[in-house]
Amino acid sequence: MPKAKSSSPDPDSLAKLRHSCAHVMAQAVQEIFPGTKITIGPAIENGFYYDFDSEHHFTVEDLAKIEKRMRQIAEGNHEFKGAEVTKEESQKYWKARKEPYKLEILEGLEPPITHYTHDTFTDLCRGGHCENTREIRHFKLLSVAGAYWRGDEKNPMLQRIYGTAFHSKEELEEYLHQLEEAKKRDHRKLGTELDLFSIQEEAGPGLIFWHPKGGLVRRMIEDWLRDQLAKRGYDFVFTPHVMRLDLWETSGHTNFYAQNMFSPIEIEKVKYQLKPMNCPGHILIYKNRLRSYRDLPLRFAELGTVYRYERSGVVHGLLRVRGFTQDDAHIFCRPDQIEDEVAGCVDFAKETLKTFGFEKFEIELSTWDPAHPENYTGKPEQWEKAESALVNTLNKMGIPYRRMQGEAAFYGPKIDIKLVDAIRRSWQLSTVQFDFNLPTRFELEYVGEDGRRHQPLMVHRALLGSVERFFGILIEHYAGAFPLWLAPVQVRIMSLTSEQEGYAQDIRKKLSAAGFRADLDVRSEKVGFKVREATLEKIPYMVVVGAKEAAAGTVSLRSRSGQSTNDLSLQEVVQRLKSEVPASPLLSPPLPSSPAGRRRAGGGQAAGGQDPRSEVGDSKL
């Protein structure tokens, strides 16, 4: 979803506007659909929502009716009035109105308890509203989704209506334009159309099947990454997908991360765990022998597949899955090396994202919340030292950042690098995490220059986050039109008639020998039809050859944007293509030969089921 922006100088005013809009929506829904029960309606990052329990099944058509009534209410210029009430008064009020969800919420509240009223509608609410409904002018209801009450699948399924609101018409129109653009770029839709990946019902939700084209792009991403890792002094390791449960108890994952782990597997009366992370495996490799201070830093890298439990209602294409591959690395170092290692990780992350076409970044420093030490491990002084190391590194590098209190991992603070894509959405990808916890839990040591045993520090580092999620973001960033170096098929050679098939075959061989992925379309179809198909498949270039070109030893070159150049020699075509490939990524090996008359790059539907678009629950994607 695009990140909503407001020009208002008051950072809280947009949240107040949206929360007020949620109240007005709830009033409209109850008026149009009598008997509907209300629950909660908060402002969220990109708008607001309200959850309803109604016998009526809300449709997209209903949204227009609700919007119309909301505008009528807003024009009434009703003041939002707050009133403090006793718990008993509130209980009596909601019992009289037969609102069971409000009564349940009320049970967990302590005084002061407030009701907010506008027009004929009252809600149990802490406040944060506009002065009156007339301020609610620029809003739009967006969608309907299912949501379990309080996010628990054991509770009733409710209907959630999403909307957004802004202070100006221009801001609303810009946001709605971004939403439309996001729909066009939906990686699930493009993944099917371009035959990149699928999600198979027979296998289960959240599990990705990479098709040949998607697999080729993945291989190029991973090959580039492996090349860079080697240059930066990382050692490649491989660890098992399943390990004893005891290991995860030692690491603390069973205490702090159990809700994200699959149930253990029992083998010969011993419990094993599908790994949700790679770090304990890397620790065991470190611990396999005693290390010297001269060995450090040690940088272990692994493209390791991990498994995390996600409810089927919240899995979302490539962006939220149950099995995925992390481009994971763990650095074991001395205290005097920590800031340099963190700086190296941040630099590596920025270079990686820029290589794949992302130029804008947002940096966040996630710290612990001292008010809730039960959510973390370690002592306060350890947290202070760890956070200071990250702050010092960012300051030395001259990188501005935003502090996010309470967002740290349970074992240490972290730097999160968010990229901004082509339609200005921000995505969390790269992370650099300081860890003083696991070296203590696993009693890691190295022999220092003084001959004594010391405990190393540890850095967790991921650049892409997960290969699956990164690929999904990459698809949406480029709207499926990958740059030349990443495109699964870079050039399609088309013949006007069967008489040019031999010439087309020869061109393909020469392009392949030059390192380009080229395929053939020598079917007896009109060239306009072939061009349209190749354009829909987002192939960067098309080479068209007819009798004239075959006789002259030339070609016509057409780009997917529609630009054409005639009478080019093949050498000129090769030079033009090479000029578009950046210096760092390597050209991948060519596609294998395909039989004459068959296209290598196929369109059509991806095999198997698609990821369902319905969303259940309120988890962020």
Which residues are marked as active site? 279, 308, 326, 328, 330, 414, 460
Query: What size, in residues, is the chain?
Result: 621
Compute the C-alpha angle 604/606/611, nearest 5°. 130
- Specify the pairing of strand 138-148 against strand 157-166: antiparallel
Do residues 225 and 463 make contact, with C-beta atoms less than 8 angstroms apart?
Answer: yes
Report which secondary-structure segment, H or E, holds 169. Answer: helix 169-184
Both tokens assigned to 483: 């740059």
Measure the CA–CA gap between 422 and 573, rounded to whole angstroms: 29
Measure the CA–CA gap between 50 and 68, rounded to whole angstroms: 17
Both tokens assigned to 531: 């061009």
- Specify the pairing of strand 446-447 against strand 291-292: parallel
Do residues 466 and 472 make contact, with C-beta atoms less than 8 angstroms apart?
Answer: no
Q: What are all long-range contacts of 226-231, with beta carbons under 8 Å and residues at least 24 apart? A: 226/303, 227/586, 228/348, 228/351, 228/352, 229/301, 229/329
Q: Could you give the 3-state DSSP secondary structure of residue 517? A: coil
Closest C-alpha among 471, 491, 574 to residue 537: 491
Closest C-alpha among 458, 589, 460, 613 to residue 515: 589
Both tokens assigned to 586: 């390597």
Measure the CA–CA gap between 452 and 476, rounded to whole angstroms: 53
Taken in order 78, 82, 83, 87, is the CA torsion positive or negative?
positive
Task: Give me the helices (H) in 288-332, please.
Answer: none
194 phi/psi in degrees, rounded to 5 = -95, 5
Strand order in the sheet with 121-124: 81-85, 113-118, 121-124
Measure the CA–CA gap between 317 and 433, rounded to whole angstroms: 27
Q: Which amino acid is at 378?
A: G
Instruction: Name the one residue in this structure whose structure tokens are 């109240």.
Output: 23
Closest C-alpha among 210, 291, 292, 275 to residue 238: 275
Instruction: Name the one residue in this structure whose structure tokens are 């540890």.
Output: 458
Asked if the bond preceding 297 is cis, omega within 30° of 0, the reply is: yes
Measure the CA–CA gap between 118 and 129, rounded to whole angstroms: 10
Q: Which residues pair with 329 in a beta bridge?
A: 301, 461
Report which secondary-structure segment, H or E, holds 545. Answer: strand 541-545
* Backbone angle region of 367, left / alpha / beta, with phi > 0 → left and psi within -120 to 50 → alpha: beta
Measure the CA–CA gap between 304 and 278, rounded to whole angstroms: 7
Distances in whole angstroms, Cα of residue 314 to Cα of each of 51, 122, 148, 413: 17, 32, 11, 27
Measure the CA–CA gap between 484 and 502, rounded to whole angstroms: 26
Closest C-alpha among 410, 426, 413, 361 to residue 384: 413
